[in-house]
A and B are shown apart, each in its own frame.
Chain A
Amino acid sequence: MTLLRAWLAGIPAYLWSGWGAVASLCLLLAAWEGASAVYGALVLPDPGTVFATLAGLVDSGAAWPELAVTARRAATGLLLAIAAGSTLGMLAGISLTASMMSRPLVTVLLGTPPIAWLVLAMLWFGASDGTPVFTVFIACFPVIFVGALQGTRTLDGQLKEMATVFRLPVRMKLFDLYLPHVVSYLFPAWITALGTSWKVVVMAELLSSADGVGAALAVSRSHLDTAATLAWIAAVVVTLLAVEYLLLEPVKRELEGWRRQEREGSAA
């Protein structure tokens, strides 16, 4: 509840701090407009046309169902990866043997391109939801796993001794000792995974599904409709930015309040 209140109260100041980001985005739009003037509308439609197409998609009601389907797949895969990656990563971090054994496995997972997993998933799951969900899961899992592993391993041994001496029960060790420390490693990993999930799900849909944003992209590509393609891309990017900067970033700030005070304390 406090979290929600702090989140709401922090929005105006937070949005105000976003002017710098807005300015740099405007520069990007200007460059886009310039490139479009040089190369012509077929290669690169100007931003105005693209956003008009996007508005048309939204108005006609065509955009929401596709976005919803894609979001559902991405969210399912991401949540599975967060649950499995965080839990297994922390468990592996507690044991030195487990962390040594899991390192190379994670490197293998990280090194395998998502497109390879996608091909396997298409063989295993066919055209069902399983294909994009599995691809998202397998692309996000190692990132989160490594975050949880690192977080658990880097917990100060002196604090662990302190916890033993003060006879902290297991529950308290988890919630008062490990989690607050691990969260500062987990949260950036979750945000990275969110970006990955959103990109991978579109790729998976493009190649394997009949609905969702990826499928819509495939259709607009086959019609050589560059404006619609860019409109879908804009929709994907805007959604991701909105989720990351309006939801996750404020939560992260709130969770890491003690770090902020630390910085202010050291500055004072």
Chain B
Amino acid sequence: MTRALAIRGLDHAYALRSVLEGIDLDLPAGRTVALVGPSGCGKTTLLHLCAGLLTVQNGTLANGFLRPAVMFQQPRLLPWKTTRDNIALGLKALGVPAGERRARAEAMARSVGLDELALGQFPNALSGGMQSRAALARALALGPDLLLMDEPFSALDIGLKAQLHRLLLDHQAEHGLAVLMITHDLMEAVRLADTILVMAADPGRIVFRAELPVPARRRSEAEVYRSTAELLRQPAVCASFGLDLPAEAGNNGNGDGAAVVPLFSPESACAASGAPSCVSSAAAPSPASAACPSGPACATDAGKAPRKKGFSC
């Protein structure tokens, strides 16, 4: 079996309530897929299915990866173990001898920026950011070929988030692991992913697919903002999040949120949707205003963008 995750026609229901319907997803080795969608659209269910925490009811899920690892939304460290032992937990489960797993845990801890003091402490003595680093280190220490992440950075401040993003991208470049991540931060998805799948709720389904051809490590901030803005102009994306469609983009689609648009690339979409807005979004300090010139609901959501830019530069 090749090292890939292939999902075909996956359905899932809790009792009579259908939460996932007809999910198709491919994740080859070394790639990053981001699942974006509003709360309650079944993202976490899908991730739990991939992690083997739920049993597949209908459809196929073929996971050819050998060493998957999961990073949850909460750090989920064992409170009675020191940070060092927590990071080494997965290695201990693999039967790695004590000395070696200690060394590997410490090396991984250093690379995520945890110092000697933090390693000897119990998780409750660590800040939220350090706990997240420890959780990331615990997942990466396994040397996974597939990393499943459930909104892992959502509780972190922007600076810390940017640090961990860089860390993840570096690790990915070095070891070539595949990443399936859940986020409801579109910009985070645009920053990290090769493929973005936008989901809509009731029942959870994929309504939009965007490919980002530029490798994540080479994406400039301007490109990230521009692509995020472009995504927010897509009728399916706006409908999925319950946003009003920006007036400018309104004539492009019917906005019923059911269309799957294949192979969206920011460059081509940019060219197609009219040069002025794209040029202004790349140049303007506040690109979100270019994406949503008149839609008030859209503007409030995209209004996060300028704030972030100020911090992450």
- Identify the A interface with B (CB < 8 A): 158-159, 161-162, 164-169, 172, 176-177, 180-181, 258, 261-262, 264-266
What are 19 inter-chain pairs, A to B, with CB distance below 8 A?
Answer: A158-B74, A158-B76, A161-B72, A161-B76, A165-B52, A166-B138, A167-B90, A167-B93, A168-B89, A168-B93, A172-B93, A176-B81, A258-B122, A258-B124, A261-B124, A262-B79, A262-B124, A262-B125, A265-B125
With A158-B74, A266-B124 known to touch, is A164 a contact of B93 (CB < 8 Å)? no
Tell me whether B72 and A158 are in contact (CB under 8 A).
yes
A161 to B54, CA, bound (A): 10
A166-B121 in contact (CB<8A): no
* Cα distance, A14 to B78, chains bound together (Å): 28
Q: Is B313 an interface residue (CB 8 A)?
A: no
Contacts known (A176-B78, A258-B124); A162 close to B93, Cβ less than 8 A: no
B70-A265 in contact (CB<8A): no
> A265's contact among B52, B69, B94, B124, by CB below 8 Å, is which?
B124
B76: which A residues are within 8 A, CB to CB?
158-159, 161-162
Asked if A180 contacts B125 (CB within 8 A), the reply is no
Question: How many residue pairs, one in A and one in B, have C-beta atoms under 8 Å apart?
Answer: 61
Q: Which residues of A contact B138 (CB under 8 A)?
A: 166
Judge whether B53 is part of the interface by a CB distance below 8 angstroms.
Answer: yes
How many Å from the CB of B237 to the closest CB on chain A?
Answer: 30
Are B70 and A262 in touch, CB under 8 angstroms? no
Number of interface residues of B (CB under 8 A): 23
Give Cα A168–Cα B121 distance, bound, in whole angstroms: 22
Interface members, chain B 34-88 (any A CB < 8 Å): 51-53, 69-70, 72, 74, 76, 78-81
Tell me if B161 is interfacial: C-beta within 8 Å of chain A: no
In the complex, what's the smallest C-beta–C-beta distance from B148 to chain A, in angstroms? Answer: 8
CA distance A265 to B94 in the complex (A): 32
Residues in B neighbouring A164, C-beta threshold 8 A: 52-53
CB contact under 8 A between A161 and B53, given known A258-B124, A261-B121, A265-B125? yes
Complex: how many Å from CA A164 to CA B53? 8
Kindly provide the distance from the CB of B107 to the nearest chain A CB, expressed in whole angstroms: 19
Min distance, Cβ A263 to any Cβ of chain B, angstroms: 9
CB distance from A268 to the nearest CB of B (A): 8
